[in-house]
Structure 1
Amino acid sequence: MASQGVNVLRYSALVAGLVYGVYHQSSLNSVSKRAEIEQEYARKERLIEQAKAEYKKKTQPQQETKTQSSGLITNWEDPKFDLEAFLKAKAGE
C-alpha cells in the first residue's frame, strides 16, 4: 500500500489537472466567442458600407447626358458618346 505522502501527491496532481483543464477550456471558449463577435461585427460593417453606397447611388441626382439644344451626349461614360462631335461642339463655343 502507498504511503500517505504519495496519496496526497496523487490527489493534489489530479485536482491541479482538473483546475487547469477548467481554466484552459474557459479561455478557449472566450477566445472563440470573441472571434465570432468580431466576424459578426465585420459582416455588419460590410453591409452598412454596401447600404451607404447603394443609398448614395440611388439619391445622387442623375447627370444630364445630353444638352438641351443640340442633343449632344456629353457624358464620356455613355456608350453612345462621340468624342469627335463633342470636340467640334466645344470648339464651336
Structure 2
Amino acid sequence: MASQGVNVLRYSALVAGLVYGVYRQSSLNSTAKRAEIEHEYARKERLIEQAKAEWKKKTMPQESKPQASGLITNFEDPKFDLEAFLKAKAESS
C-alpha cells in the first residue's frame, strides 16, 4: 500500500491540475470572446464606411460629379486643369 505522504502528493497534484485546467479554459474562452467582439466591431466599421461612401456618392452635387468627358471639377485634385474647366463652363452657359 502507498503511504499517506504519497497519497497527499497524488491528490495535491490532481487538485492542482484541475485548478490549472479551469484557469486555462477560462483564459481561452475570454480570449476567444474578445477576438469575436473585435471581429464584429471591424465588420460594423466596414459597413459604416461603405454606408458613408454610398451616401456621399448619392448626395454629391451634380456639377461636382465626374462627367463622361473626363473633366476634373474637384479644385483640390492635383490633376485639375483650370483652363479646361473654364472652357467647359463657358460652353455650358
Does TM, normalized by the shorter one, top 0.5?
yes
Q: Deviations over 1:35-62 (max 9, x none)?
A: 0000000000000000001011111111
Amino acid at match of 1:40: E
Larger Rg: 1
Instruction: Rate the CA distance shift 1:82–1:29 in 2: closer, same or farther, 3 A.
Output: closer
CA distance in 1, matches of 2:27, 2:55: 42
Query: Would you tell me which structure has more helix in proportion to its own residues?
Result: 2
Residue 19 of structure 1 deviates from its aligned partner by 0.2
Equivalent runs, 1:82-93 vs 2, <5 Å: 90=87
> Percent identity of the aligned residues?
76
Contiguous gaps of at least 5 residues in structure 2: 72-82
2:36 is matched with which residue?
Answer: 36
Contiguous gaps of at least 5 residues in structure 1: 66-74
Residue 82 of structure 1 deviates from its aligned partner by 8.7
Instruction: Rate the CA distance shift 1:5–1:18 in 2: closer, same or farther, 3 A.
Output: same
How does the TM-score come out when normalised to structure 2?
0.71
Q: Deviations over 1:5-55 (max 9, x none)?
A: 000000000000000000000000000000000000000000000000101
How does the TM-score come out when normalised to structure 1?
0.71
